[in-house]
Amino acid sequence: MSPPPPPLGRSRKKDTQFFDPALCDAELIDVRGQFTQGRWAKARALLVATGDDWDRRGHRVVVLGETPSAAAWAREWLLAEPDSADAATLLACAEVFAALRGKGSAEAAERACRAAAARLPNDPTPWLALLLLTRAVGPEEEFARTFDQVRARHREHHHAHHLMVAKLAERTPAAGADPLHEVYDFASWAAEESPADSPLAVLPVVAHAERYRVLAAAGAAPDAAEHWSGRRARQVLRTAFDWWLEWEREDHPRNRVDLNFLAHAKLCEGRPAEAAALFHRIGRHATPAPWSYPDLDPHKAFLAARSAALGSA
């Protein structure tokens, strides 16, 4: 593994760059700037170039779909190119985010997702958009069926598995800190079913963080150190950290999501030196989850955690 970059600066100017959902995708950041101004030609070229790299395609479509006026620009693109599956998929994702913001209809968003899915039957991305919608407003059975549609097209879909873990973690909050909760079994199964280099190896760590979020909201959580000190928690953390040391999937578009969860867990476990190595890799690409757990300001929590870890290195 290559040595870490120099320690990060602490300036307020740099801090304002945290929590960009594009993460470290420089091409996406450039295209998004054009797209927010209604110039969709670069978005078109980007999605064509992305091809069937499904995790990257999903990441890029979601980030573009979240932008202001995304639905309007995607409709303009679709009017210009009525046969464009990329335009239909981006419009579907934009309609989902509009519905989640209360600016559109969930029914219309679902129709757009299914229409986009019909254009490219092998593409999991319209189903990912529908999964985001059903995660918020759909019945649990529909969410599970939609997850199966994503997984049937891409068995290791990173974003979809994170959404499923978050959903499963919300079951039976009254059960408390049950080490046999189904979210742990699902995450372990998904990790074991994946190839050795799959970032789903970190999913069991995500499961522990998501379960802590749920228990804290229900007033049933132990403190963070206790939550991460159990035998199973220690084992999944050791396995995930060892995976990162061996594979370090810098090429994955959502790798900073995994690193944020892993750094958070390592700090909670009381291993700040290991967390420091992860913070070096994270750079300024912080993610709101899990630093907002439970009910924290993620920006303040991330900065405090990073300072504590780097101060120990």
Q: Which amino acid is residue 47, in one-letter code?
A: L
**Beta carbons within 10 angstroms of residue 98's beta carbon:** 22
How sure is the predictor about 18, in pLDDT bands with cuts at 50, 70 and 90? confident
CA distance 88 to 265: 39
Under 8 Å CB-to-CB from 103, ≥6 apart: which residues?
none
Residue 254's nearest CA partner among 15, 6, 54, 9 is 54
pTM of the entire structure?
A: 0.93
CA distance 44 to 269: 44
Q: How many Cα atoms within 13 Å fall on the side-chain side of residue 70? A: 29
**Beta carbons within 10 angstroms of residue 217's beta carbon:** 14
Distances, alpha carbon 82 to alpha carbons 68, 117, 267, in Å: 22, 15, 50
Largest CA distance in the chain: 57
**Beta carbons within 10 angstroms of residue 66's beta carbon:** 18
Task: Report pLDDT digits (tens) over 132-159.
Answer: 999 999 899 999 999 999 999 999 999 9
pLDDT at 3 over 90: no
Residue 308 and residue 273 in contact, taking contact as beta carbons nearer than 8 Å: no
Say what the pLDDT of residue 8 is.
44
Residue 94's nearest CA partner among 160, 35, 135 is 35
Query: Positive or negative CA dihedral for 232, 233, 234, 238?
Result: positive
Query: Positive or negative CA dihedral for 268, 269, 273, 276?
Result: negative
Residue 291's nearest CA partner among 264, 267, 270 is 264
CA distance 16 to 77: 32
- Which comes out higher in pLDDT, residue 219 or 90? 90
| 75 SS3 class | helix
Q: Following CA atoms 247, 248, 253, 259 in sequence, which dihedral angle do they give, to the nearest 10 degrees?
A: 130
How sure is the predictor about 1, in pLDDT bands with cuts at 50, 70 and 90? very low
DSSP-assigned letter for residue 5 = P
Task: Report pLDDT digits (tens) over 205-230.
Answer: 999 999 999 999 988 877 777 888 88
Say what the pLDDT of residue 2 is.
36
Residue 108 and residue 75 in contact, taking contact as beta carbons nearer than 8 Å: no
Say what the pLDDT of residue 17 is.
67
Question: For the chain, how many helices (H) and strands (E)?
Answer: 18, 0
